[in-house]
């Protein structure tokens, strides 16, 4: 009888420990508001290698004169076939012809 009572107490303690254990919380995403003003656009800017790759992925060739702007954009000279064009790549990697 004492053996069964002891087993019941041990089981109750173990079950209580599991039930009362805190559940893991998902990590909270960083707040954009906590960044100093003006750094959100620059932080998401791409580098020159990624800008050139984005231009070439859009079908342009002979990318040259690649220069970054203060707003995180990149400007370059490139060719679409035999036509020379000026292109801009924004901080998200979207390419547009000027």
Residue 73 near residue 88, CB atoms below 8 Å: yes
Asked if 85 and 64 count as a contact pair (C-beta separation under 8 A), the reply is: no
Tokens coding 54 = 């984005």
- Does the structure show a pLDDT above 70 at 36? no
Residue 36 domain flag: no
Residue 65 clears pLDDT 70, i.e. is over it: yes
> For the segment 3-12, what is each residue's pLDDT rounded down to a tens digit?
777 777 878 7
Mean of pLDDT values over 77-98: 93
For the cut 70, the answer to whether the pLDDT of residue 41 exceeds it is: no
pTM above 0.75, yes or no: no
The number of distinct structural domains making up the chain is 1
Here the contacts of 52-59 (C-beta below 8 Å, separation 24 or greater) are 52/76, 54/89, 54/93, 54/94, 54/95, 55/87, 55/89, 55/95, 57/95, 58/87, 58/95
pLDDT confidence bin for 43, thresholds 50/70/90: very low
* Chain CA centroid to CA 50, Å: 14
Tell me the residue range of the domain where 63 lies: 45-98
Give me the pLDDT at residue 56, please. 95
């Amino acid at each position: 009888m004492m053996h069964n009572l002891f087993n019941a107490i041990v089981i109750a303690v173990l079950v209580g420990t599991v039930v009362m254990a805190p559940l893991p919380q998902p990590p909270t995403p960083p707040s954009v508001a906590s960044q100093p003003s003006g750094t959100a656009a620059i932080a998401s800017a791409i580098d020159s290698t990624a800008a050139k790759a984005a231009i070439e992925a859009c079908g342009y060739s002979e990318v040259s004169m690649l220069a970054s702007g203060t707003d995180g954009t990149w400007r370059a000279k490139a060719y679409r076939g035999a036509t020379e064009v000026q292109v801009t790549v924004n901080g998200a990697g979207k390419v547009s012809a000027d």
